[in-house]
Chains A and B, each alone.
Chain A
């Protein structure tokens, strides 16, 4: 690594249009040399568009980028790298079937025709000695935890001698400890003037703890910036959302009974590679209770939800619903009123090219009034029901005949909720329901989940967002390496203890 100080980066008057949509309007932004800067905003506020303009993915319609007060033209990410600007994406761009060493080598612009692996390895070991964290070079990326992959992504950018590092939601897949560790290292490097850092985030806690300065975008416009030390968290939140935050505490009715509704006994599940990823899960969920399953992704939660939703067979164990053995057949789903909202609903419970009306009727298209005699389907009846649900659940745009994949993420989630929750529900399984949604949609969906609970439904909430679990759950369990390793009732939940269990470091 050279000893140059990182350049001063400025974006002036950036405007970017996509057809009629104005994604960014006259946005100004400055990242001073050696600064740790946070770019705050909701989903769709234009944060990603702004950094993509800086990285050369998009070309702004108006405005200019300055490096050390010099006008520069960045046409592609390759150009950006030549100027010393690198980006770590939300979705990892590592190649999972290759080793860390191979990934670091391939990212270089120029490769020797024949690669001398010994020399490359020696070179990178030398480089890593100067770095605050280390990763095994011979490890296959697919075997690394999310936090380790993030470190490789960062090392990759630093090995390319980039002095400005842009990170898009870097902590969304990390445990609180991993996040703090990673941000702490970056913070130290900025303090040593080795690096300027720009993180895109909506986690105010991290901004308050690590950033020097913050810039807030809302609906594609610059709404403010300032020194973190001079701003209160509530002020930043207000700039982000536009008004006083309306996150009212959810109205919870206290539970009176403790009737077990869903009982899982010794559930064991193998994944696609034949590895046992759920290794004996025991869990009871009662009437009117939300049980939150916390954990870093990849510890068996996805497979558990797939089994409960009928998308994967369990290799052992029993599922009992109100003392009846449960199998996810269509008949039993109807009888026991058990519904599942898996993550990424568009892929997992919708057929993208079918219409909203058709998707809304997946549960009841073959019964009256939608079908005569169970086989002849009446399209007018489907559309009538769809109009009713669209109005009740505020699905936009309100047209039953549009293909569901053309809806935004929040509206797809609303449509799935409408389908699953409009009838009586005894048991609700829900996984990462707010992933990628904006603040308002998120609030609305959380309200719905609590409302269902208050009506006496047993809810299993699997989420990677610890804040979401702490907000919603009556009881929290932690899943690690295919087992439930910790249980706590939420008011007493201690973030640090939960975090330690999530990474397998028992207290």
Chain B
């Protein structure tokens, strides 16, 4: 059956989920970190490290899910290291973040050399399109369980930030470290824990890359997704649920090029592939004017102070 242009739409929607899932995890991680008043640019490195760890563990143990968990733990270690370094006097979180980004990617390439060739077991997907007999729709509805877990994490994170003592403390620390100290809250400890948890989520995002889509381990795997997450979080106004929609938007944008290619439009392929980066640039230009303060921004963030 020929579905013509609908094929593009379906492919973009399917791609939004498939490509958007790692964005979702990284941006949720960054969102939690930034809510506590720190920016972790090192998530790019965390993502790559998570991808490598996940792939390696999956290969050796035969269990991709164990790979996902270990990727999260690796991310957690990197996150904790970042925020531990930042908790010293006069240490700038942006500078540490860049260092951690280089450290994470470098370490992953170094440790990951042996894993470029072999093929690890892949994460299974859930076939939600079995009822349909349109092959494009079937392909688009092959959903990975991590996406569903990501939705649950987004909802849970939003709820926790609003309704739990822990969430309230994270927000206080992110809004005003002075007020937090006056309340007797351990500012550094809360930030270290938030950044470590954020790193955990970003590590899982990395394992999705190597264990599901694009499903390999190579050096160009993350292509800047960890950095783009910073822009995503700004665009999402630091709201976890908005992170979900924004991730899907970015995923859809990234899927546009391949989708058009699949119906035979190959002109401008590279331009279409650049759309997520162009969108990121546009968001940063629109939102980061020196004359304007963002609504909803945690006041302790160094880029906005």
Interface on A for B, CB 8 Å cutoff?
Answer: 76-78, 89, 91, 93-98, 102, 105-107, 109, 111-115, 117, 272-274, 312
Contacts and interface: CB of A to CB of B under 8 A. Distances in A.
B255 to A, nearest CB: 34
B184 A77 contact: yes
A113 B164 contact: yes
A78 B184 contact: yes
A272 B293 contact: yes
A109 B165 CA distance: 11
Contacts of B296: 97
Contacts of B183: 106-107
Nearest to A271: B293
Contact of A106 (B172, B178, B292, B295): B172
Nearest to A102: B168
Interface string B236-274: 000000000000000000000000000000000000000
Given A112-B165, A274-B292, A312-B291, A93 B184 contact: no
Interface string B146-173: 0000000000000000011110110110
Contacts of B179: 93-95
6 contacts: A78-B184, A91-B178, A97-B175, A109-B184, A111-B169, A114-B164
A77 B182 contact: yes
Nearest to B184: A78
A78 B184 CA distance: 7
A34 B292 CA distance: 48
Contacts of B172: 95, 98, 106
A31 B133 CA distance: 84
Contacts of B178: 91, 93
A111 B163 contact: no
A114 B163 contact: yes
A4 to B, nearest CB: 24
Nearest to B182: A93
Interface in B262-305: 291-293, 295-296, 298-299
Given A95-B172, A273-B295, 10 more contacts: A76-B184, A89-B182, A93-B179, A93-B182, A95-B171, A97-B171, A97-B175, A97-B298, A98-B171, A117-B163
Nearest to B163: A115
Contacts of A91: 178
A117 B168 CA distance: 12
A115 B165 CA distance: 7
B176 A95 contact: yes
B163 A95 contact: no
B295 A95 contact: no
A118 B227 CA distance: 39
Nearest to B166: A113
Contacts of B165: 111-115
A314 to B, nearest CB: 12
Contacts of A98: 171-172, 175
Contacts of A95: 171-172, 175-176, 179
Nearest to A110: B165
A97 B299 contact: yes
Given A93-B176, A106-B183, A273 B293 contact: yes
Most chain A CB inside 10 Å of its own CB: which residue of B168, B179, B298: B179
Interface in B167-195: 168-169, 171-172, 175-176, 178-179, 182-184
A109 B171 CA distance: 16
Contacts of A94: 179
Most chain B CB inside 10 Å of its own CB: which residue of A91, A97, A113: A97
A111 B171 CA distance: 14
Contacts of B168: 102, 105-106, 111, 115
Contacts of A273: 292-293, 295
Contacts of A77: 182, 184
Nearest to A112: B165
Contacts of B298: 97
A107 B168 CA distance: 11
Contacts of B163: 114-115, 117
Contacts of B292: 272-274
Nearest to A107: B183
Contacts of A114: 163-165
Contacts of A109: 184
A111 B185 CA distance: 12
A313 to B, nearest CB: 8
A204 B169 CA distance: 40
B283 to A, nearest CB: 17
Contacts of B169: 106, 111
Contacts of A102: 168
Contact of B175 (A96, A112, A117, A274): A96
Contacts of B166: 113
Contacts of A115: 163-165, 168
Nearest to B289: A272
Interface string B40-74: 00000000000000000000000000000000000
Contacts of A113: 164-166
Contacts of A97: 171, 175, 296, 298-299
A90 B46 CA distance: 42
A465 to B, nearest CB: 25
A89 B182 CA distance: 10
Most chain A CB inside 10 Å of its own CB: which residue of B178, B182, B298: B182
Interface string B70-105: 000000000000000000000000000000000000
B176 A272 contact: no
A113 B165 CA distance: 5
A301 B166 CA distance: 39
